[in-house]
Amino acid sequence: MKVLITGATSGIGWQLAHDYLDEGHDVIAVGRKRQALAVLKDKGAKVLALDLTDRQATLDGLAGLGPLNLAILNAGTCEYLDMPDFDSAAFIRVMRANVESMAISIEGVLPCLIGCEGARLVGVASAAAYLPLPRAEAYGASKAAIRYLFDTLDITLARQGVAVSTVFPGFVKTPLTDKNDFAMPMQLSAQDAARYIRRGIDKGQRHIHFPKAFTWTLQLLGLLPQGLWRRLAKRMIKA
Ligand SMILES: NC(=O)c1ccc[n+]([C@@H]2O[C@H](COP(=O)([O-])OP(=O)(O)OC[C@H]3O[C@@H](n4cnc5c(N)ncnc54)[C@H](OP(=O)(O)O)[C@@H]3O)[C@@H](O)[C@H]2O)c1
């Protein structure tokens, strides 16, 4: 199988790239950190050093990759906002890294997926997409956008024979979460996260979410009457 992974230089994507390589698949690893890309290249991956927010460079880099069976669009970032300082620069950075780069990546990989046996497009969102969480004005909005985008592509790409999955991880220990200064319940290792994602892909799941105890809880909270969730969420804000 030929699999492209964005955000392959760190965390969840790094683990996915190693796991697919270990199983003998052809891996195309995308990221910016050249040192990490060099390690993946030594292990047998084809590597692409790309800033995915740079539309032209990304489309040029992805052009001519040839047929792809699987594209896992995982690159992303997280910044939290602290009210009442609405930092629109941070908001724009997050939307650019998570949403714009996703749109550009989709444009780049779709021609490689269409017509391929068992083609699947996978987008990594977050459990933060399930409901409004304090400080996640930017991150949660970006992941909710990805959720909508991939749920729609799941419908609109069906005729092209491209299956679509969205991934909703809970907390995973990676450089992204190592910056967090708050408790992260039920945090998983990147190895476990990659295992869940690969299993979900193998099963052809549309929504891949884990750990279930955490993601089901958030989904249930999301079903509460809005007023009830607002009251609970307000208590989570530090005084
Ligand atoms: N960790 C969690 O708890 C968690 C939970 C839910 C969802 N997620 C999502 O899972 C995905 C992976 O997160 P992670 O925890 O593994 O984070 P991470 O260790 O910080 O890795 C992020 C990856 O994204 C790449 N990236 C970011 N901006 C990029 C850009 N402009 N161009 C190219 N590559 C870019 C980075 O590559 P370079 O640094 O080489 O550019 C890196 O490989 C993200 O979408 C994140 O939102 C994570």
Establish whether residue 171 lines the binding site of ligand 1, counting it when its CB lies within 6 angstroms of any ligand atom.
Answer: yes
Query: 228 CA to middle of ligand 1, Å?
Result: 32
Looking up residue 64, the CATH number of its domain turns out to be: 3.40.50.720
Q: First-to-last CA distance in the chain?
A: 51
Residue carrying structure tokens 């804000």: 237
| Segments forming the whole domain that contains residue 15 | 2-236
Q: From residue 157, how far is each of 103, 115, 116, 162, 183 by CA, in Å?
A: 15, 11, 13, 6, 39
pLDDT score recorded for residue 219: 94
Q: Which residues contact 165 (CB under 8 A, 6 or more apart)?
A: 120, 121, 122, 123, 150, 200, 201, 204, 205, 206, 207, 208
Give the C-alpha separation, 157 to 119, whole Å: 11
Give the C-alpha separation, 203 to 233, whole Å: 34
| Parallel/antiparallel/unpaired status of strands 163-169 and 46-49 | unpaired
Give the C-alpha separation, 224 to 120, whole Å: 33
Query: 13 CA to middle of ligand 1, Å?
Result: 7
Establish whether residue 57 lines the binding site of ligand 1, counting it when its CB lies within 6 angstroms of any ligand atom.
Answer: no
Over 90: is that where the pLDDT of 236 sits?
Answer: no
The pLDDT confidence band at residue 235, using thresholds 50, 70 and 90, is confident
Q: Which residue lies with its CA nearest to atom 21 of ligand 1?
A: 10
Instruction: Count how many domains the chain has.
Output: 1
pLDDT score recorded for residue 239: 47
Establish whether residue 140 lines the binding site of ligand 1, counting it when its CB lies within 6 angstroms of any ligand atom.
Answer: no
pLDDT tens digit sequence for 46-73: 999 999 999 999 999 999 899 999 999 9
Q: Which two tokens stand for residue 169?
A: 């991880």
